[in-house]
Amino acid sequence: MDTKLSSHKRSTKQIIIQANTLIESASFFSNLMEARLFYMALASLRPQLKAGEPTENKVVSIPSVDVIKMFGGNNVYYSRLKGFCRNLQGIQVELQDNEEKGKLVSVVPFPKFEFDKAKGMLSIELHKDFAPYVLELADKPYTQIAASSIFSLKSTHSIKLLELLLQYQGFEKFKTSGVIEREFSLKDLRYYMGIEPDKYLNVSVFIRSVINYSINDINDHTPYFIEYEKIKPSRTITGFKFFLRKQEDVPNLEDNLTVAEDDLVDVLLKYGIGKIVANRLIKTYDAKRIKDNVQYTLTQHGVKNIPAYMRKAIEQDYAGNAKKAAMQFDLFEHNKMADDNSDKACEDFLISRGIGEMSREVIMAKAKAGDMDEVVDKLLGDIDKAQFIECYQKGDFSSLMDNVGSIYDQNVSEFSAARETLEAEAVKATPDAEDNDTFEADDAAILDAVEDVPEADIAPVEEHNSSVKEALKNQLVLTVLVNGQKISKEFLQQCLDAKLNISEIQSIVGKTSIADILE
């Protein structure tokens, strides 16, 4: 850790500075793009802070061209900037108080995001309670990392691991050795990485999917090189010890390994492989495969029998398989993030149209499976199915959302006009009496006149518990559309008593009329 803040105004190199308390909080990002936006805001804070300027509610401005660059030049992600900003606004970071031990502080880092499309500028406001962890650091232990190292990584787990190790870069004993060493228990490492309790419960899966992936990511894309060993007092892995050093300190085998067979033989002999085996390997496999697997063997910390491991690595191409696995994982993560974003956009749209939770689950499950049958037609109602499918595949429902405002205005206008007419007629019919029976009759007439208005947009005179209505609607969908069963007269009466939309009930039950069920 560093003990004295330095000015970065003279340098164009962006630095991310955080209190160690923030680094040791659990990772709170749901995806990589949210993390990059967060760190871009941190990197922009200090350069934009003028001398003597108060840090409370500091606003940083980021040009849109930098945002697009941060997203890897991908305009698809840029079009979803609003969603990333909204998610970051909902983040609560739990931190240990810097002044009082044992005290937890929950903070929203960035409560306000503002995007000026005309100026091409994104403005982000820093919460005053978060400033002590990223700006007011003169008397606190903190860590600084080059922004380029953070933005080059492809996983939030990689970012957290690099932060935790570089937290020790200022310790004197590590300065002299050039190697940072840090141990974590399995429990603590899962906490720092923000791993949910039901994820990666198998330690081997955790090592492969989180630790190995993060280390390969850091080694391939930053100036640092990491190795690790398992802490295993008995048969059970209880933790891990990591070793980090700068890349220039790592032997570069490309300088030593040449294509010449004699040179390759010498290299293999140097690491204990016999001459006969070395000659066989060189005749059987190309020079690149041998060099890659020698390099791979030397990066595997804790190998006891190097000659045997190196020979097996060359024969089975461990290095090539590791690269393929990393590429497959990258593809999996990319597709998973695209699916998650598509599902989130779809759910937001369906909620905006007043579609209940059970109905949303059915629609989204069938959309993902490509099974858009009559059940979906009924649940979507007046939403164009072909356009819905196209929007779902793109993960962008803006074209359908554009129609929501005009439909809403039209329905509210029709509702208001109908209500005014019926109220006027009710006053004429009963000029001297306004009892409860009259009001209930008026409400029933209004509901009949504007039954197509979404429930969320109507405030009925006789209020009903919205959670009860939602539960009844979900049960209706589950019984008829999912299980294919008929509903009873008593259950239908419950739905009507709760004032569920009659036309929506009819669309769910299908050909059988409500009147037939009630008879």
Instruction: Give 320-346 pLDDT, tens digit per residue.
Output: 887 776 666 555 555 656 666 677 778
Q: How many CB atoms lie within 10 A of CB 209?
A: 19
Confidence of residue 162 (pLDDT cuts 50, 70, 90): very high
DSSP 8-state symbol, 43: H
Task: Look at residue 292 in the predicted model and tell me its pLDDT.
Answer: 85
Q: How many CB atoms lie within 10 A of CB 433?
A: 8
Q: Given this structure, which CATH class describes domain 1-151?
A: mainly alpha
Mean pLDDT for the chain overall: 74
Retrieve residue 22's tokens. Answer: 């923030």
Residues with Cβ within 8 Å of 349's Cβ and at least 6 positions away in sequence, in order, are: 391, 397, 400, 401
Print burial letters for 363-389: b (CB count within 10 Å at least 16), e (below 16).
Answer: bbeebeeeebeebbebbbbebeeeebe
Residue 145, SS3? Answer: strand
Identify the weakest region by mean pLDDT among 288-302, 367-381, 469-483: 469-483
Cα separation, 174 vs 359, in Å, equals 58
Average pLDDT rounded to a whole number, residues 28-36: 85
Cα separation, 401 vs 108, in Å, equals 29
Is 3.40.1170.10 the CATH classification of the domain at 169-250?
no
Residues with Cβ within 8 Å of 53's Cβ and at least 6 positions away in sequence, in order, are: none
Q: Report the alpha-carbon angle 122-124-128, nearest 5.
A: 170
Amino acid at 117: K
Residues with Cβ within 8 Å of 276's Cβ and at least 6 positions away in sequence, in order, are: none
Q: Domain ranges for the chain, please list them.
A: 1-151, 169-250, 254-316
* Region of residue 381 (left: phi > 0; alpha: psi -120 to 50; beta: else): left
Count Cβ atoms within 10 A of the Cβ of residue 112 and give its class: 0-12 exposed, 13-18 middle, 19 or more buried.
middle
Residues with Cβ within 8 Å of 84's Cβ and at least 6 positions away in sequence, in order, are: 33, 34, 37, 77
Task: Look at residue 305 in the predicted model and tell me its pLDDT.
Answer: 76
* Closest residue by Cα to residue 16 from 122, 150, 153, 108: 150
Task: Look at residue 100 in the predicted model and tell me its pLDDT.
Answer: 56
Q: Please say if the pLDDT value at position 188 is more than 80.
A: yes
Confidence of residue 483 (pLDDT cuts 50, 70, 90): low
Confidence of residue 459 (pLDDT cuts 50, 70, 90): very low
Q: How far is CA 267 from the centre of its chain?
A: 45
Confidence of residue 163 (pLDDT cuts 50, 70, 90): very high
* Closest residue by Cα to residue 21 from 147, 102, 146, 142: 142
Task: Look at residue 161 in the predicted model and tell me its pLDDT.
Answer: 96
What proportion of the chain, given as a percentage, has pLDDT over 90?
Answer: 10
Average pLDDT rounded to a whole number, residues 43-55: 76
Task: Look at residue 79 in the predicted model and tell me its pLDDT.
Answer: 64
Cα separation, 29 vs 193, in Å, equals 10
Task: Look at residue 328 in the predicted model and tell me its pLDDT.
Answer: 60
Element (H, E) at 121: strand 121-125
* Closest residue by Cα to residue 16 from 121, 167, 156, 214: 167
Count Cβ atoms within 10 A of the Cβ of residue 443 and give its class: 0-12 exposed, 13-18 middle, 19 or more buried.
middle
Residue 302, SS3? Answer: coil
Task: Look at residue 403 in the predicted model and tell me its pLDDT.
Answer: 52
Q: What is the dihedral of CA 199, 370, 354, 498, to 10 degrees?
A: -90
Task: Look at residue 183 in the predicted model and tell me its pLDDT.
Answer: 94
Task: Look at residue 477 in the predicted model and tell me its pLDDT.
Answer: 73
* pTM as predicted: 0.48
Retrieve residue 309's tokens. Answer: 């491991």
Residue 17, SS3? Answer: strand
Whether 1-151 and 169-250 share one fold: the answer is: yes
